[in-house]
């Protein structure tokens, strides 16, 4: 494992495909051994940063560490959300099926800048990968006509508050990354009421239902293309930092054991 000359610790950095970076360090290295500014820069460059070998943090310690990056989004349960599959969930996030693409914080006041996960437990080859789509790449590859169409589109999302979020919001489809100014897409897929525990209804402002349906189907097909998506298969001990502006994310359905336990914190 090569030694990082600037930081004085052993580490191996490898690119993930089609984007992202994995940083492997010797077991027991502390996340605080790497300056926050360095990890922040790597996260912004890579959009997803996977850290392996670092010590998992206690719940309070995890929140305290994330606070070094910025203010935290506080839920009713606190800043650290335990993500586990439940037997009788009210919300699809806690069920074992897939989770369609969305960005975090859509139904709360603040727009999280980054989100952090740490993986306390996960079964291998059991599905449940977290899938990230790089919307900066989707926008980059769109032709002029499509970009012009997107610039004029606003979408309204509506959901009932059954877990830790809910309500109605209207957002422009094209937004700008707060650090780089690069165009990003704020797109979340609808959740069909016949399939998901708590549906999300999406409408395109000014469109008839049929046009809305066609548009949403086109967008879903586009953002799921493999060249834009990195699927993260969790290993116990993984710490993952993701850019909530460049990316939208979702989860594949579980195909095996659902014993996985993630903790998540959102940094505003
Ligand atoms: Fe999410």
Q: How far is the CA of 6 from the centre of ligand 1 (A)?
A: 34
State the Cα–Cα distance between residues 134 and 141, nearest whole angstrom: 11
Q: Cite the beta strand spans of the chain per DSSP E.
A: 12-15, 21-29, 48-54, 81-84, 99-102, 114-121, 130-134, 154-159, 167-172, 174-176, 183-185, 200-204, 229-232, 239-243, 247-251, 261-267
Task: Judge whether 155 lies within some domain.
Answer: yes
Q: How far is the CA of 103 from the centre of ligand 1 (A)?
A: 6
Task: Judge whether 7 lies within some domain.
Answer: no
Of residues 1 and 69, more confidence is placed in 69
Among 18-32, 33-47, 93-107, 166-180, the minimum mean pLDDT is found in 93-107
Task: Judge whether 121 lies within some domain.
Answer: yes
222 pLDDT above the threshold of 90:
yes
Name the band, by pLDDT with cuts 50, 70 and 90, for residue 96. Answer: confident
Q: Are 212 and 204 a contacting pair, CB within 8 Å?
A: yes
Q: How far is the CA of 8 from the centre of ligand 1 (A)?
A: 35
What's the pTM? 0.93
Q: Are 188 and 157 a contacting pair, CB within 8 Å?
A: yes
Task: Judge whether 113 lies within some domain.
Answer: yes
State the Cα–Cα distance between residues 183 and 245, nearest whole angstrom: 10
Tens-place pLDDT, residues 12-60: 999 999 999 999 999 989 999 999 999 999 999 999 999 999 999 999 9
Q: How far is the CA of 209 from the centre of ligand 1 (A)?
A: 26
Count of domains observed in the chain: 1
User: At 171, which CATH number?
Assistant: 3.60.130.10
Residue ranges with CB less than 5 Å from ion ligand 1: 104
> What range does the domain containing 152 cover?
12-267
Q: What percent of the chain is predicted at pLDDT more than 90?
A: 75
Q: Are 90 and 197 a contacting pair, CB within 8 Å?
A: yes
């Amino acid at each position: 494992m090569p030694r990082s000359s600037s930081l004085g610790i052993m580490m191996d950095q490898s690119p993930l495909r089609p984007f992202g970076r994995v940083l492997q360090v010797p077991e027991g290295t502390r996340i605080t051994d790497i300056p926050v500014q360095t990890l922040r820069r790597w996260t912004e460059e890579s959009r997803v940063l996977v850290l392996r070998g670092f010590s998992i943090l206690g719940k309070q310690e995890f929140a305290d560490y994330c606070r070094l990056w910025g203010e935290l989004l506080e839920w009713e349960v606190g800043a650290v959300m335990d993500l586990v599959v439940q037997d009788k969930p009210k919300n699809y996030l806690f069920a074992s099926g897939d989770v369609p693409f969305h960005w975090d914080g859509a139904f709360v006041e603040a727009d999280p800048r980054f989100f952090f996960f740490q993986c306390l437990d996960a079964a291998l080859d059991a599905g449940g990968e977290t899938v990230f789509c790089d919307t900066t790449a989707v926008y980059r590859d769109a032709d002029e006509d499509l970009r012009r169409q997107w610039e004029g589109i606003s979408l309204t999302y509506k959901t009932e508050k059954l877990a830790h979020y809910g309500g109605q919001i209207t957002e422009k489809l094209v937004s700008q990354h707060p650090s780089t100014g690069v165009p990003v897409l704020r797109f979340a897929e609808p959740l069909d009421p016949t399939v998901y525990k708590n549906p999300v209804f999406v409408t395109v402002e000014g469109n008839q239902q049929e046009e809305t349906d066609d548009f949403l189907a086109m967008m879903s097909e586009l953002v799921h293309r493999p060249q834009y998506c990195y699927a993260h298969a969790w290993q116990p001990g993984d710490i993952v930092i993701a850019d909530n502006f460049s990316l939208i994310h979702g989860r594949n359905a579980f195909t095996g054991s659902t014993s996985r336990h993630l903790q998540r914190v959102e940094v505003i």
